[in-house]
Chain A
Amino acid sequence: MGTELTRLDLRLRRRMLVGTAVGAAAYLFLVIAVYPTFRHDSAMDAMVAANPAASSAFGITGSITSPEGWLSANMYANFGPLLGLLLTIGYGSAAIAGQDREGLLGLLATLPVRRRRIVAAKSLALLVGALVVPLVSYAVCLLGPRFELQPRWGALLGVSVALTLLVFDLGAVALLVGAITGSRGAAMGVASATAAAAYLISSLSPVVDSIHAVRWVSPFFWAVGDDQVTGGVTIQELAALTGLGAALFGATVVAFRRLDVN
């Protein structure tokens, strides 16, 4: 019964999921297709090295012309998370607070499904949404060898999992704030601000000493901010991302049980 709620929510957001998947695939294909033009461009690496602060702000560290650096700088460290967050924060703020405001949640909450299972069903839909960009991106990257782009596949797979968990966690922040406040605006605002702060902490940590000391508080840093496309994701980083998601899920269950549903 709970999975039917998941299906219903995914059905209602099908166009956005498909549209984002197509958009992400088209963008990444273009990035990969032009790679041969830039792979030997040492001037680009020199430009990045000469402007570390500006480069860091866009999530670019190390060599930009290596396969991993190219994918990280053009997708995994910035646009990938951004596209994923559009889906998950958008859904997270709509799933409880948005449906409550629209009046649909009141009807759904009187169906024979406990509130914990409603949160579980919506978290599952959130996870599906979080999977879209990483999954499509990995699939498009498989075309890389045809364009002289041969990344480390194991590391890329790990980053795909970490990116899924990262955008899930920040979408779960929206779900939680929606369950606490019943306000879609608050859910979207708090989750977006959290994502922006986490991104800035992670991306600026290589060049700002005071931020570098606290970089470990950013889930971006755990997923894509420590050059994981090259070096791979550690078990500890995956565990931290998973633990954060589980904690947010638990808090959302508690908050949703207390929420007055309209």
Chain B
Amino acid sequence: MTSPPIVADHLTKRFGHDRGISDVSLVVEQGELFGFLGPNGAGKSTTIRCLLGLYRPNTGQARVLGTDPAAGDAAFLAQVGYLPGELRLPERLTGAEVLAAFRRMRGAHDTAYESGLVRRFSVELDRPIGTLSKGNKQKLGLVLAFAHRPQVLVLDEPTSGLDPLLQDEFAALLRETAADGRTVLLSSHDLDEVQRVVQRVAIIRSGRIVVDDTVASLRAAAPRTVELTFDHEVDAQSLAAVPGVTMTRPIGRHIVLTHTGSAGPVLAAIAPMQPDTITARPADLEELFLRLYGEDTDGN
């Protein structure tokens, strides 16, 4: 039985007393789209750099494609595609020159696939990198990461700067990549970006993993929002007493609440109040996400 392509086993990497990651463990299976979420500064990029061998962990071990990435083995690196969170490319070179240089450094690979990606993302090839917008640089970075069809892709904030149409195109590319049996770890601070495409997510906060679960399970556990309006004054206390209900706007004739678990007890409490309108929104991971982010997000 082959080991999963990405394994982090109790990784700890400290920078001073209160920065870095502690005891980070995660496993990404082959062909999986894995979301790695957390607020800025939570430790996403540090974890990613440990997985790529750019950082050496203080303790713990990473195994990517069965190899210790810190060994820097060229055969291993040939199977990995990486998009850094802060993409920097030589500003005087054109996109075409950068692609050609990286192609030569990676050895020959299927240029037809690379050309297809260039067309698909409408990458600007003829202008110097220094004159490109953030989004256009990001498109070039995506092509650099995907062009050699790596077995493992590690993408740090990949849609940063991309317009919505290209975000959809990128999501389609991720699905194709996973369908091809290749593995993607996708980091982001934006839940919306991730929940559309990944099957599983880990959430990191203050350097520690606080959630590692499937999107479906998280969605089932996530709070649902119900909005009620009335043509008369109501007493919201009976609703607040229902287990799993949190009142977010218990004011006058307009009530907004969130609830987790079964909808039956909530509907039973609402019915005698004779609401004028009821609007129920689907389970929103954002609520869960914000709760898990906690003070990190509040601080921002």
Contact = CB atoms under 8 A, between A and B. Distances in A.
Contact of A1 (B73, B82, B107): B107
Nearest to A8: B101
A11 B92 CA distance: 9
B89 A104 contact: yes
Contact of A260 (B56, B77, B82, B106): B56
B138 to A, nearest CB: 13
A260 B88 contact: no
B24 to A, nearest CB: 16
Contacts of A4: 101, 104-105
Interface string B79-116: 01010101111101100000001101111000000000
B65 to A, nearest CB: 13
A184 B73 CA distance: 27
B54 A115 contact: no
Interface string B51-86: 011111000000000000000111101101010101
A257 B102 CA distance: 22
Interface stretch (A50-58, A60-68, A105-113): A105-113
A257 B55 CA distance: 10
A146 interface: no
Interface SS of A by simple majority = helix
Interface string A109-138: 111111101000000000000000000000
A40 to B, nearest CB: 50
Q: How large is the interface on A (under 10, 10 to 19, 20 to 34, 35 or more residues)?
A: 20 to 34
Contacts of B53: 109-110
A261 B72 contact: no
B234 to A, nearest CB: 56
Contact of B49 (A102, A257, A262): A262
A152 interface: no
A104 B102 CA distance: 12
A1 B90 contact: no
Given A11-B93, A110-B54, A103 B101 contact: no
Interface string B190-226: 0000000000000000000000000000000000000
A114 B72 contact: yes
Contacts of A235: none
A5 B106 CA distance: 11
Given A114-B74, A260-B49, A262-B49, A103 B84 contact: yes
Contacts of A11: 90, 92-93
A12 interface: yes
A102 B107 CA distance: 25
A132 B117 CA distance: 40
A258 interface: yes
B98 to A, nearest CB: 9
A12 B92 contact: yes
A87 B241 CA distance: 75
A117 B105 CA distance: 12
A203 to B, nearest CB: 38
A8 B93 CA distance: 10
Given A5-B105, A111-B106, A103 B78 contact: no
Interface in B146-161: none
A-B CB proximity, top 6 nearest: A103-B88, A112-B78, A112-B77, A112-B74, A110-B82, A261-B54
